[in-house]
Structure 1
C-alpha cells in the first residue's frame, strides 16, 4: 500500500508543475511523502519510498521526452518511453538518498522533518550538476503561479524548494500531528507561508517598458519538416518575409498619424526605481499590451504588410530568431548573410541560431550550436557557442560504447557539437548588452549570465518543436524562474512555441501559443536592480540547511524517545 501511495504522491507533485500548475495537489503529495519518510521503520524502507515517490514525479512530469524519439528513424520510437522511465529511475535516486539518510540518522518526527529539509537542498543541487546535470523542474517550480515565486530573487529556486517542503510539512503537522506541540507548529509554518506570499506580492514594482523595438519571429516550422533539405530555402524566406512585415509594423508605429501611440523622449533618470544600462533619451512605449503587439504598434493594412513599408524611417530594432533558424554556414557564406539581412537597416541587430564552425588542432572542422548577432549589411557582430549540450540531442556520450548498440543522436547528423566556454555578455552596438542562452541552458540557476559583466537582458533561443505538449510550457517555466533570480527580462524565440517576452518578475508580458505562426512586436522590459540572489547565491540556502541539520540532530538526542511510528502507518 505504501508503495502505491508513494508513486501517487510523486505523480501529484508532477501535476503541480507546468502545464497543469495544480500546486495545491503538489503540496498534498509532498505532505504524504514527508509522512512516508517519518513513518518508515528503517533507512532502507524510507529510501525505497523516496525512490518510488521520485519515479512517480519524474516519469509523469517528463513524459514529453518520449515525443523526441518520434522524430528520428535510427531507433524505435517506443524507446522513448524506456528513456522516460529509465531517466525517472535515475533521477529518483536524488530523492531516495536524502529520504534514506533521514530515517537512518534520526528517529523523532520533528528531527526527520528538519533533516529531510536539510538534505533536500544538496541532493537537488547535485541533480543539476552530476553527469552534466538535469536541473529541470526543481521542487520550487510548483510556486510559479503564486506570489511565493517572487522570493526566488532572494533565495533562488533552491530556496523555493525548501519552502515547498517546509509548507507541506506544516500542513502535515497541522492535520495529523501526533502531539499538540507539533499541530501548533504546523499552524505556525502555514501562517508563515501566508506571510511570505504577501511579501512576494509586495516585491513587484510596476514600471514602463523602455528601449528599442523588439521583434520575435515564430515561423511555425515543425520538427517533421525542420531538417528537410529541399525546404531550407523556403524556411529562410519564411523568416525573412515575416521579419520584413514586422519591421513594417515598427515603421508604421513611428508615424505621427497613429492616435494610440504614446512615444516620447524622456531622460532615463525620470523613471524611478529602475536601473538600466540603456542610454538617456531612450524611447518609451506605454500602456497595456493587447495580444502580441505593443501599444502604439498597429497592424498594417494587408497591402502594406510587405517589405516596402520596412523602408520607412523607423527606430533601430532588435530581431530574435529561434535556435537553428539558419541552415547555412554563414561564417563562410557571404551570400547567405546578405539574403538573411536584406530587409534590415544598418542599425538593426538580428540574433539568430545557426551552426558555428571552428578548426580543431588536427585541422578538421568542428561545429557548435551557436547564436549569431548580425547587423544590417550582413556583418557578424558576435557569436556565442552553447556550453551545456543535451546528451543524445547534440552529442552521444560514451560514443565508442553506445554507437555499436544502435544509440544515436535524436536529430540528424553523425557529428558531436563542441562545448562553448559558458555564459558571456555580448555587446550590441546601439542596444543594451545581452546574455545568450541556447535551449535548456536556461534551466540552470547561476549559469545564465556572466557575474562579472551583468547584461541588460537574456536571449533564450530554442527549438521546442520536438518536446511534445508538456515540454514547452515547462521550458517557459524554467525561464521565468531564471528571470526572477536574475532580475532580468528574458526573451524566448522558438519555431513552434512557446515564444515569449518575460519581465524581471517572471511575468509573461506577451507570448505566442504552441503551433502558432506569428511575430511578437514589443519593447524590451527594463532590467531590475541586482537581486539578492545575484549577490549572495546559494549561501542563505546552505546556511539554512546546515542549521536545520544541526537542529535535527540536537532535537533527536535531547528529546525523550517517542513511539517508532509517530504517524498512522500508511
Structure 2
C-alpha cells in the first residue's frame, strides 16, 4: 500500500507540469510523499519510496514519448508504451538514490557514533528532513542532466512557471534550485498540517524552544521571496540594442508527410507564403528544424530557389541535415544542422547540434541493439554526430544570435556561448513527434532558459508551439499547436548577464549544499 501511495504522489506532482498546470496538487502530493518518507524504517523503504514517487512523476511527464513510435516504420508503435515505463524506471534511480543519500546524511548527522543506518526519521524535526531532501533532490537532478549524455527533461522546479514571479528566482539560483524550493514549500505544508491537526497524526515536529517557529518560517520564506521578486525592478539590468525584426514560420506540416515527395511542391508553397513579402527593414526569417528534406550544401538549385523569397538584406535561418565524409570521400555520418542563407543563395553560417537525443539521433550500443531488432526513432541508416557546443553568430543588421536545436534547449547552463553572449537565442524544433504534452513542456523549459540567462528566445517549430519569449519568461506571442501561421515580431531586449548566466549550475549546487550545511549547523548547535 505504501508503494502505491508513493506512486500516486508522483503522479499528483506531475500534474503541475504542462499542459495540466494543477500546481496546488503538486505541492500536496510532495507533502504526502515527505510524510511517507518520515515513517520509513529502513534504507530499502526509503529507496523504493523515492523510486516509486519518481516513477509516477516521470511516467506521466514523459507520456509524449510513446507518440514518437507511431512515426517510425522500423519498429512497432506499441513499443512506445513499453519505452515510457522503461525510461521512467531508469530515471527514477537517480532520484531514489538521492532520497537514500538524504536519509544517510540526516541519520549520520543525528547518530554519527551509533547504528545510524537504523535511525528513526520520525523523531527528527521535519524542517531538518525537508532541507536535506531538498538539497539532495537538487544534486540528483543535476547529475541526471549530464551523466550518460543526460536527460534533464521536466525538472521538478518547472511547476513554478505557474507562478512566474517565483520562477524568475531562477535568474539567481537556477532551475534545479527551484526544485528544492518546491520541496521546501511541501515541507511547510506538512508542518502546517501538523500544527493545525496535532492529534490526528504522530507529532512530526518537536516544539522545543525557538524551533517551534520553524514551520511558520518555512511557510513564510517562499511567500516573502515571491513578493520581493514580483516587485523587484529589473529595468537597470536591460541591455540597449537595436531593433531586430523576426518572421517566425510555423508550417504545420505533419511528420508523416515531410519525406513524401508527392507533397514537396505544396510544402514549398506553404513556407513561401508564410515567410511574407519584403519590408523596408531587414528581416530574419526563422524556419523550424527539418524544414528542408535535401542536403543544402550539395544542392545549389534549392538554395537559389529559397533565396528568391529574401530581400537583399534579409536572412533565412532553417534546419536541415549536413553530410559528414571521411578522407576517402565516403559518407559516414550526418549532422543535425542550422543553415543561414542570404539573398544571393549563399550559405553564410552553419551550426551543428551538440546535444543529441539518445535512441533518436544516435543509437547507444548500436552493435548489440541491432541484434535485438532495435532502430533509431529517426529514420535512416547513419547516426548523427554532435557539434562542438553552443555558438553565437554575429550579423550586421541583427546583432548576435545564439542557436539551440530542439532538445538542446532543455540543458540548463549549456545553451549560451559564455565568451560571446548573444542578443537572443533561436530555438528551432520539430515537435510534431511529441503528441499533446510534449510541445507545451518543451516551451516551458525554453522559458526557464530565458529566465536563467536573461535572454529572449524565439522558437520556430513544425506544428507548434512556436513563440517569442522575453528575458523574464513571459510569452510575448505564440502560435498554438496544429495551426499554420507566422509571427512578425520585434525581439525584446536582453538583460545584462544574470547571476546564473555568470556562474551557471555552480549556483544551484551551492544552494543545495547550503541547505545541507544549515541542517548540520542546526544539529551542532542543538548539542
TM beyond 0.5? yes
Residue of structure 1 equivalent to 2:25: 25
Show CA shifts across 1:105-149 (max 9, x none).
Answer: 414234322221221122111110111101111111010021101
SS at match of 1:180: coil
Deviation at 1:205, TM superposition (A): 4.8
The answer to whether structure 1 residue 545 and structure 2 residue 490 are counterparts is: no
The CA distance in 1 between the partners of 2:402 and 2:190, in whole Å, is 42
The CA distance in 2 between the partners of 1:332 and 1:123, in whole Å, is 45
The correspondence for 1:422, drawn from 386, 389, 394, is 389
The answer to whether structure 1 residue 187 and structure 2 residue 216 are counterparts is: yes
Show CA shifts across 1:396-428 (max 9, x none).
Answer: 111101012111111221110111110011112
The CA distance in 2 between the partners of 1:513 and 1:140, in whole Å, is 24
The answer to whether structure 1 residue 465 and structure 2 residue 432 are counterparts is: yes
The CA distance in 2 between the partners of 1:145 and 1:549, in whole Å, is 27
Residue of structure 2 equivalent to 1:306: none
The CA distance in 1 between the partners of 2:437 and 2:218, in whole Å, is 32
The correspondence for 2:180, drawn from 162, 187, 207, is 162
Show CA shifts across 1:514-549 (max 9, x none).
Answer: 000111111111111110111122333323322332
Residue of structure 2 equivalent to 1:212: 244
Contact conserved, 2:244 with 2:283, CA < 8 A, in 1?
Answer: yes
Question: More deviation in 34-43 or 359-368?
Answer: 359-368
Contact conserved, 2:360 with 2:377, CA < 8 A, in 1?
Answer: yes
The correspondence for 2:493, drawn from 526, 547, 566, is 526
The CA distance in 1 between the partners of 2:129 and 2:395, in whole Å, is 52
TM-score, normalization: structure 2? 0.90
Deviation at 1:559, TM superposition (A): 5.0
Residues 520 and 209 (structure 1), Cα distance of their counterparts in 2 relative to 1, 3 Å cut? farther
Contact conserved, 2:134 with 2:179, CA < 8 A, in 1?
Answer: no
| Structure having greater relative contact order (Cα 8 Å, sep ≥ 6) | 1
Contact conserved, 1:154 with 1:531, CA < 8 A, in 2?
Answer: yes
The CA distance in 2 between the partners of 1:531 and 1:63, in whole Å, is 34
Residue of structure 2 equivalent to 1:475: 442
Question: More deviation in 477-486 or 160-169?
Answer: 160-169
Question: More deviation in 37-46 or 454-463?
Answer: 37-46
Aligned positions of 1:267-286 closer than 5 A = none
Deviation at 1:558, TM superposition (A): 6.9
Aligned positions of 1:394-405 closer than 5 A = 394-405=361-372
The structure in which a higher percent of residues are helix is: 2
Deviation at 1:209, TM superposition (A): 9.7
Deviation at 1:75, TM superposition (A): 1.3
Residues 551 and 532 (structure 1), Cα distance of their counterparts in 2 relative to 1, 3 Å cut? closer
Residue of structure 2 equivalent to 1:339: 305
The CA distance in 1 between the partners of 2:90 and 2:230, in whole Å, is 37
Residue of structure 2 equivalent to 1:144: 161
The CA distance in 2 between the partners of 1:539 and 1:60, in whole Å, is 30
Large movers: runs of 4+ above 6 Å: 206-209
The answer to whether structure 1 residue 239 and structure 2 residue 271 are counterparts is: yes
Show CA shifts across 1:429-462 (max 9, x none).
Answer: 3211111100110000111110011011100000
Residue of structure 2 equivalent to 1:442: 409
Question: Structure 2 stretches of 5 or more lacking a match?
Answer: 108-120, 195-203
The correspondence for 2:455, drawn from 488, 501, 512, is 488
Residues 453 and 233 (structure 1), Cα distance of their counterparts in 2 relative to 1, 3 Å cut? same
Contact conserved, 1:213 with 1:521, CA < 8 A, in 2?
Answer: yes
TM-score, normalization: structure 1? 0.83
Contact conserved, 2:320 with 2:338, CA < 8 A, in 1?
Answer: yes
Residue of structure 2 equivalent to 1:409: 376
Question: Structure 1 stretches of 5 or more lacking a match?
Answer: 252-313, 561-570
